[in-house]
Amino acid sequence: MGVALIATQYVALYLVTYALWKVLRQAFVKGDLDQLQGPPSESYLKGVFSRVFDPDGWDFHRMMWEKYGPVIKLKGLFGDTVLYTYDPKAMHHILVKDQNVFQPMDTILTSTKYIFGNGLLGTTGNKHRRQRKQLNPVFSTSHMREMVPMFYDISHKLENSLVNQVKNGVKEIDMVFWMGRTALELIGQAGFGHSFDDLSEDYGEHHYSSALKGLVPAASRLSVFRLYFLKPLSKLGPPSFRRKLVKFSPIKALRELLNIVDILHETSLEIYRSKKQALLEGNHKVAEQLSRGKDILSILMKQNMEAPEDEQLDEEEIYGQISSFTFAGMDTTSNALSRTLWLLARNEDVQAKLRNEIRDAMRKAGGDIPYDELISLPYMDAICRETLRLYAPVNIVIRQPTEDIVLPLSRPITLTSGRTTSEIMIRKGTKCIISLVGSNRNTEIWGPDANEWKPERWMQEMKEEIVSAKIPGIYSHLMTFGAGGRACIGFKFSQLEIKAVLAILVSRFEFSMAKEVAWQMTNVVVPVLKGGDPTKPTLPMMVSLAK
């Protein structure tokens, strides 16, 4: 009780001090941001953040796009003024040209580092660049090609389990459950040479998988806490004291998150130490795997041994990649696969056309489709691109400038004062929310049908409006995988996973909807039953053998 009381007093003191500072800052510091158009604040305490970060906030975001355009002022906690944008030039400067100024927020980096350690997600600057440099070889085309047989092997295990369930007729199956298991096994084997799941029906969930599934819901419930309060609280005393504060905290989600982080850390360390020990003991299989570079961890260990001493990563940086890549590769990939199956179930003609394309390619190949043919299937590629455009698994990224900076815009905007401007001054420390989905659905660029799912748009010549917009994303004029030095390093890996799994599933099974679901706008978008438990992701579908 003593620890809990001290923690409560610290939090109360911080809240009072922070609120006072915000009041004074708002009263005396004004800038261009204050003259931007935006939705009115709903309260001084929360601004409009309860709407912006609402899991059911799709309509609110769309209203903002339609009413205010790509450069918007938001009111955050305690009257904080926040930039919300999907303007192409603004995104280019924030994420690419001036990325050294627009850094991930300290509070987000702090929470990410606490969760994942010193991997890519929790580092910045030279350390981040050094890690990316050593990890880049794993995502080369030649290595992607070598991974295809492994992806198919895992996909066929999934296929066998589903066949056993539907061999006697159509059956309702929770596909988000199976996509999550498959995505974890894909990243486990391809990333670290480690199997978490044999994808059998006799299933006992690995504790690492359970922890990963609980991470997003727990972190989402703590979004405001992580955004505003974690950084200062992380400076209270030594780590042992802070751990006690969390352990005895009255906030249940915080205690749950601590348990999840412990499991992620212990499992990552166990995987790393096991591979390292086998190498030290002269395990020929592991030594051969390292020399051939068959997984991310092996490549990183091999690269690290060969790198100059001043460029080598320490052990924490190496095993920090395990949870970082597993989290980044599991939830986003399983979401994209689940969403694609959901769309195919709702568009039977598209599903049938895709099945014919896949089966034709399989007949020509005499079995599984080789890498070059798989990535080139036009209709499958169009479906994947359109799904990743309209339904990006991650909706926003947040940056914060480390100094005052002028931000150019793609086209002039009119401020509330009546003045027209093509640039705005962004003050040091201003939170900048980049709407990835806002860019992907920008009607000025993608046309009046930007909010409709139309795979055919990718089988036509790209419109001039899209090309000339100069969207800074690394993939197909989309912001789905981000941009700049912190863009998703594994975006090609993810696309290959999705296509390999879809090729096996769609060729063998037919999918239709069983129950209505809603897709929640959480850190990573997830489906839940309409009217059901919003904390339990699920996608019930009717599955049968395809004719």
State how far the Cα of 293 lies from the Cα of 147, in Å rounded to an integer: 11
* Token duo for residue 535: 């904390």
State how far the Cα of 475 lies from the Cα of 471, in Å rounded to an integer: 10
Is 432 assigned a ligand-binding role in the annotation? no
State how far the Cα of 311 lies from the Cα of 291, in Å rounded to an integer: 20
Neighbour count for residue 308 (Cβ, 10 Å) = 6
Please name every residue paired with 401 in a beta bridge, in sequence order, or none if there are none.
Answer: 102
Q: What does R_g of the chain's alpha carbons equal in angstroms?
A: 24
For 89-100, give one letter per residue: b (16+ CB within 10 A) or e: bbbbbbbbebbe
Contact 382, 67 (CB under 8 A): no
**Which of 218, 311, 198, 203 is closest to 258 using CA atoms?**
218
In the DSSP assignment, the letter for residue 478 is B
CA angle 306, 311, 313 (to 5 degrees): 85
Contact 479, 86 (CB under 8 A): yes
**Which of 542, 526, 545, 524 is closest to 534 using CA atoms?**
526
Residue 87: strand, helix, or coil: coil
State how far the Cα of 82 lies from the Cα of 75, in Å rounded to an integer: 6
State how far the Cα of 429 lies from the Cα of 144, in Å rounded to an integer: 40
State how far the Cα of 362 lies from the Cα of 271, in Å rounded to an integer: 36
Residue 72 parent element (H or E): strand 71-75
Residue 471: strand, helix, or coil: coil
* Token duo for residue 121: 């997600």
* Token duo for residue 5: 């009381």
* Centroid of chain to Cα 142: 25
Q: Which residue stretches of 347-442 are H helix?
A: 348-365, 371-376, 378-390, 436-440
Residue 235: strand, helix, or coil: coil
Residues placed in the known binding site: 488
Residues placed in the known binding site for heme: 488
